[in-house]
Amino acid sequence: MAAKTVSQNDVAAILSGRLDAPFTVFGPGYRGQAGLLVAFDPHAASMSALTPRGAVALAPMGGGVFAGDIGRARRYRLRAEDGTRAWEYDDPYRFAPVLGDLDLHLIGEGRMQRLWRVLGAHPMQHQGVSGVHFALWAPNARRVSVVGEFNAWDGRRAPMRACGAGVWELFLPGLSDGTVYKYEILPQDGAPILKADPLGFGHEHPPATASIVRDIEGFDWADGEWMQTRATRNDRAAPISIYEVHLGSWRHTGGRALSYREAARDLVDYAHDMGFTHIELMPLSEYPFGGSWGYQPTGLYAPTTRHGGPDDLRALIEAAHDRGLGVLMDWVPAHFPSDAHGLARFDGTALYEHADPREGFHPDWNTLIYNYGRNEVRNFLTSNALYWLEEYHLDGLRVDAVASMLFRDYSRAVGEWVPNRDGGRENYEAIAFVQDMNCLAYGEGPPGLMTVAEESTSFPKVSAPVHEGGLGFGFKWNMGWMNDTLRYMAHDPVHRRHHHNLMTFGLVYAFSENFILPISHDEVVHGKGSMLARMPGDRSAQFANLRAYYGFMWGHPGKKLLFMGCEFGQAHEWNHDEQLDWPALEDPAAQGLQRLVRDLNTLYRATPALYRRDCEAEGFEWIDRDAADLSVLAWLRHGAPGDLPVAVVANFTPVERRWRCGLPQSGRWREALNTDAALYGGGNRGNLGAVSASARPAHGQPFSAELTLPPLSTLFLVPDGV
């Protein structure tokens, strides 16, 4: 029988890091030679295999490569010595694959709905041994290795098995939760590159860039009652008032941002006290640059470690649910940064992005655009949406920059974009991706969730079901309403009568989508100033204008969203590096505005006519939309049959008026809320708590009442019995 031998070419390949099929070389059965074991540790001067029948000395082949015949032994450990110390470990190359043929088939077709359960780094028991299973998609790599402190970041020591479908895997015994790692990828051409794990569940604190093994199994959720009933809270017939938060700058403690668990106490208590129904967290997927506010993520499957670990974020979400608050998170599938450790040219090729910069580069943000036409990339993203909804019990995702995905010419000049197959500007692949994501989220995710589109164009049917030709979102931000109404409010009141249509035009299309009215972070950055600073007049007038505007907003059809700090009139523009200006609440005017927002939320939640038909034309009726010369607007809100109506009247001039208002029924209408009340910092002018409607027709209504309209104010009138 021929002697068992090891090729010097293989030894050279090991030492140079060019070994591309490690399981044919390492482990027992070198190149099909039964029992011939090859192992490598460049720090070892000698090595032996510890088998059930005893130790077998392995012969040195040079440079830390060792070989020897261990017979039929399949369970063994390696023992290495360097002359001063000895160490033992399980050989990764004696373990069978973890992934099966079905896994690889579904990954290859882009149909692995829960991709995170097979790719990424998973602590586990495999063949009776504890360790971590690593799996990665890198179809164009020559070699992929797992590197970290455990192997001195040496890419020669833990090369992975190429399984098919572009997937590489390796079980590394002895590793556990908390292990820091990266992948060293040898491209077809050029030197090896280091990459963080695209499906890593944890990452180092920026500016460090490695991934961290996180065991995301086993969190003992205690929000079962919320999860069973939340469908009624996220429905378009429910009151939805969202508090948008950048967790890094909401409030600081000891000179730093709150942890997830601190926010579980402080932020949740505050949002609950303010009467909001939901908290929306700006992106928490790991991101390297703080100035991106999370909108340029590199770790799409990892909660940012700035505030804690995965279980800490879960504790925040669970605490919100315990207080009756839903939690949404901003999700960014539109683009990703070009940081070297991220997805850019991940395996040496344009893998996640388009190779052609006319399709793959975003000129607005200097970022890269996902290749939505590639099955594996689309699967990576749709699975990520499901991941956050399932693993973190998020109640919804607000999808960022949808318009930039839908149109190939978004922010591009003529000749700088590639038309679709029909010569048009619509991005068919991105549209299909968005539809797939919504179908998967609503079809496979926990019941009762919502998805929300930040979509700034008039693209049709954004919030219509996919089977009706829509994109499938639950809600859409009403950017047109926000832009128009803020333009109106910026005008000096003496000129507002010339711009009256800015306040009424939104009702032309208000029921074409399931709209959320957003006053978001985008309205208080980049030189726009704060919401208070955008109001005209002296400081007293600014507060009065803002109070009237918030009353108009809460009385208007559509769900509500308000960015943090806007609820108390922070005077300066939002700065992500600083906490909100909480000392401003020492000012009675700021206290009054905060109290107004709390009371608006309370009234909104308690009054079905203000929310039940937010998205239906039958829920709204103009009383008077034509009083432009007075800058007065009046309308009725209707709920379901049996719900009493609400009359909302806004006066956007600094002039007190006596004004007859048509009403649908006679009798006493109480003043449920008056933004000019002294409680809110106003002049306490109004109607002494109520008006009486008599049988005098006005504005097409059979009854009417004479109202006092305070300057710069919004009134809510409800019939007795509400």
- Percent helix, strand, coil in the chain (nearest 5)? 30, 25, 45
Residue listed under structure tokens 């090595």: 47
Pairing label, strands 252-253, 285-286: unpaired
The beta strands (E) that lie in 378-514 are given as: 396-399, 450-453, 475-477
**CA gap 384, 436 in Å, rounded:** 12
Catalytic residue of the set 154, 262, 318, 454: 454
Is residue 78 exposed (0-12), middle (13-18) or buried (19+ Cβ within 10 Å)? buried
- Order of strands across the sheet with 86-90? 27-28, 36-40, 65-69, 54-62, 46-51, 77-81, 86-90
CA-based radius of gyration for the chain: 31
Query: What region, left, alpha or beta, does residue 421 occupy, with left being phi > 0 and alpha being psi -120 to 50 degrees?
Result: alpha
**CA gap 603, 597 in Å, rounded:** 10
Active site residue 318: no
Active site residue 643: no
To 10 degrees, what angle do helices 428-444 and 375-391 make? 30
Catalytic residue of the set 90, 400, 484, 671: 400
The number of beta carbons lying within 10 Å of the beta carbon of residue 12 is: 14
Q: Which two tokens stand for residue 432?
A: 């299909």
Please report, to the nearest 10 degrees, the dihedral formed by the alpha carbons of residues 81, 86, 88, 89 taken in order: -70
Of how many residues is the chain composed?
722
Which distant-in-sequence residues (6+ apart) come within 8 Å of 170 by Cβ? 92, 133, 134, 146, 158, 159, 160, 161
Cα separations in angstroms, 221 against 138, 226, 268, 393: 34, 11, 17, 9
Instruction: List the catalytic residues.
Output: 400, 454
